[in-house]
Amino acid sequence: MTQTTHTSTPPGKRMLSEQVYAHLRDAIMRGDYAPGDALKPQDLAKEQGVSLAVVREALVRVVGEGLADRLPNRGFAVPAFSDRRWQEIAEARRTIEPVVLRMSVERGDLDWETRVRAAHHRLVRTPPYVPEEGAHYSGAWSEAHRVFHRTLLEGCGNPVLLETFDRMWTASELARRWSAHRNPDRDGAAEHRRLEEAALARDADTAAEVLAQHLTMTAAVLTGRTHHESAEDI
């Protein structure tokens, strides 16, 4: 019997690539790069003290998460600000997530209810801003926010749908962070509270409607529109 030989990335290179990937992802999310800024492999390799191959591997991962673009004959760049881009992301989330939330409310068990309550409590008790992280939402709050939204959907019991949520969430994370600069007075806490209340009350219709409005407002403030415009307008 002939044994097929598989090649794999050496552990040392894989570890370096992971480090460069984490550095790039954090830098983009912190706003160290402006929308449209180039991500030059040569500069990053010199800055991080690694090879071009390691940097390119990390950049491909960042592109896969929607946090960078690979441009033909122009290398890599942070996504440029584009109303259309974020409208498409918002449309995808508004189409899919309320449906998954409805399934979650209908299928979730007592353990799901407990986790939703805990995730909301953690979100409420985590400061959205900390001085050392500047004008962007804090890393701790961003993670608590992600966990709350994902926990709401986990009652659906469908891992494929949850993987779809994970991809959309990462792709929209830059847009959500940028929206914080457009409307710092938005009462996100009240929106999240209404989501928790509707979900735990097993009111699938209200939960789905509140989530759709929540997602619409994020897209609307990012593109400079008022909260009174309908979802169809964006």
Q: What pLDDT is attached to residue 79?
A: 86
Quick one: pLDDT at residue 226? Answer: 36
The confidence score (pLDDT) of residue 7 equals 44
**pLDDT attached to residue 183:** 59
**Structure confidence at residue 184 (pLDDT):** 62
Q: What is the pLDDT of residue 218?
A: 74
SS (H, E, C) the chain: CCCCCCCCCCHHHHHHHHHHHHHHHHHHHHCCCCCCCEECHHHHHHHHCCCHHHHHHHHHHHHHCCCCEEECCCEEECCCCCHHHHHHHHHHHHHHHHHHHHHHHHHCCHHHHHHHHHHHHHHHHCCCCCHHHCCCCCHHHHHHHHHHHHHHHHCCCCHHHHHHHHHHHHHHHHHHHHHHHHCCCCCHHHHHHHHHHHHHCCCHHHHHHHHHHHHHHHHHHHCCCCCCCCHHHC
What is the model's pLDDT at position 12? Answer: 63
Q: Which residues of the chain have pLDDT under 50?
A: 1-7, 225-234
